[in-house]
Amino acid sequence: MKSSHPASGIGAVAARFGLATHVLRHWESVGLVTPQRDSAGRRRYDEDDVFRVAVILRAKEAGFTLDDIRTMLTTPNRSTVLSRQRGELRARIATAQASLDMIEHAMACEHVDFTTCPHFQAAVSERLLRQ
C-alpha cells in the first residue's frame, strides 16, 4: 500500500482520526503500530501506518480488544479470535435489531399506551422467554 504521500507526524494522524496522541503511543507500546522515526526521533506515520490505525479503529468498533487485534494482526492463528468475535457481534446485532423492531412498532402503534398493545406485549414476552 506504499504511496507517494509524505509521512505524517503523530499529531496529524491523531487529529485525522479524532484520537489523542497518547492513544497512538499506547498502541505503539503494545505492538499494534510501528511508525518509523525521523533523525530527531519523532514518529513518522506513512500511509501503511495510517491504514493500520483505520483497521484498529474498525476492529475496536466491532468489539475486539487490543489483545485480540494484536493477535489478528501479528499471528497467522487468528481464526479463534475472529470466530469468537463473529458470534458476539451477531448476538449484538440480533439484540439491536430486536430493539429497533420494538421502537418501530411503538412508533406505528395506534394505542394510546403502546405497552398495552397485544403485538407489542407479544414481542416483549418473547424477549422475556429468552432470559
pLDDT in tens, 8-19: 999 999 999 999
Task: Give me the chain's average pLDDT, please.
Answer: 89
Alpha-helical segments (H) within 1-131: 10-17, 21-29, 47-61, 66-74, 79-108, 118-129
The Cα–Cα gap between 87 and 64 comes to 12
Query: Which of these, 20, 101, 14, lies nearest to 53 by C-alpha position?
Result: 14
Residue 102, pLDDT > 90, answer no
CATH of 1-75, one of 3.40.50.300, 3.40.190.10, 3.30.1490.20, 1.10.1660.10: 1.10.1660.10
Residue 45, pLDDT > 70, answer yes
Q: What was the pLDDT predicted at 4?
A: 55
**CB-CB contact of 22 with 61 (8 Å):** no
**CB-CB contact of 2 with 46 (8 Å):** yes
pLDDT in tens, 47-97: 999 999 999 999 999 999 999 999 998 888 889 889 999 999 999 998 899
